Structure 1
Amino acid sequence: MKFSTKEDIEAPIDAVFDMLSEFENFERSAMRRGAEVQRVDTLSAPGVGMMWQVVFDLRGKKRDLEIELITYDRPGEMVFECTSQGLMCLMSIECMALSRSRTRAMIALDIKPLNLSARLLVQSLKLAKTSLTKKYKLRVAEYAKTLEDRYNRTA
């Protein structure tokens, strides 16, 4: 099951990619929402091989998630592989310069079930795909707006 959207951001591609690569901000954001996030690699700079262990509650159950950065091609693309109980997700973020001060970000999430219970979960998600896609696009648009605002405050 795949979700994808694209957003145009009023900022140069390097600035957008740098903001998207501020992984510490994402870690803190997840922690504020109640997740336990632990970085498990030893890399000092962003790059392939970065890994996180994440534990969070979802619908009354504790969920474990392992996230690995498998592609890091500055300033064009990042791909994350996320594995959880029975699910594997690939999240790709591609940036394309439209002009000196405008960047298009294409963000895709591909969810694949690995066992029967995960297959049932994905099947139920497919029934709500229209509303989930709307929410996904709205959240990405909101985040793109925050990136624009951050860039404008620092520029």
Structure 2
Amino acid sequence: MQLTAREDIEAPLDRVFAALSDFDSVERQALRRGLDVQRTSGPATGPAEGMTWHATFGFRGKSREADIQLAEFQPPERMVFDSVSGGLKVQMVLDVVALSRTRTRIGVTVEMMPTTLSARLLVQSLKLAKGGMDRRFRDRMKGLARDLERKLQANA
């Protein structure tokens, strides 16, 4: 199952990518949203391929855990995160494209690949509600993009 969203931001490409790859800030945002995120490996100096995190979060009334790895890091245009939660593999691809010197498009693709029967049942139930999930995913991405845009314009 795949979810996609694209949002345009009124900010230069390099500043948008720098904000998206500021993992300290992203970790703090996740904590504010109720996720427990801990970096398990990676350089302290900045983002790099191979960084890993362990996350604990609530989903459908249960506590879940995920191991996340930054599988690909190509500044200033692409990041790929691979994660495993139970029998579900998830890959998130973040593409950042300059539309002009002051406008940038962020594209996010999330693909879920079940590896166990229970994960297949979960993905199948999500597929039944795909229309609503697509809308909520796009709305969440729109909100995150607006927050990022406000932050970047305030720091300009």
Instruction: Name structure 1 gaps, 5 residues minimum.
Output: none
Q: Take 2:123 and 2:90, find their aligned partners in 1: how far apart are those partners?
A: 12
> What is the Cα deviation at residue 71 of structure 1?
0.6
Alpha-carbon distance between aligned partners in 2 of 1:100 and 1:50, rounded to the nearest angstrom: 30
TM-score by length of 1: 0.96
Task: State percent identity of aligned pairs.
Answer: 44
Cα-to-partner distance string for 1:54-79 (whole Å, 9 max, x where unaligned)? 11232332211000000100001000
> How far apart, in 2, do the equivalents of 1:36 and 1:105 lie?
25
Read off the aligned partner of 1:52 and give its amino acid letter: W
What is the distance in 1 between the residues matched to 2:100 and 2:32? 35
Query: 1:121 is matched with which residue?
Result: 122
5+ residue gaps, structure 2, are none
Residue type of the alignment partner of 2:120: R
Q: Which amino acid aligns with 2:5?
A: T
Partner of 1:11: 11
Structure 1 CA distance for aligned equivalents of residues 109 and 66 of structure 2: 18
Partner of 2:70: 69
Tell me if 1:50 matches 2:84.
Answer: no
Q: Structure 1: how far apart are the matches of 2:115 and 2:69?
A: 18
- Report 1:126-141 matches (<5 A): 126-141=127-142
| Partner amino acid, structure 1, of 2:9 | I
- Which of structure 1's runs of 4+ aligned residues deviate more than 3 A? none
1:26-79 CA-partner distances (Å, limit 9, x unpaired): 212222233322111141220101100111232332211000000100001000
For 2:34, the aligned partner's letter is: G
Aligned equivalents of 1:57 and 1:142: distance in 2?
A: 21
TM-score, normalised by the number of residues in structure 2: 0.95
Q: How many residues of Structure 1 are paired with residues of Structure 2 in the alignment?
A: 155
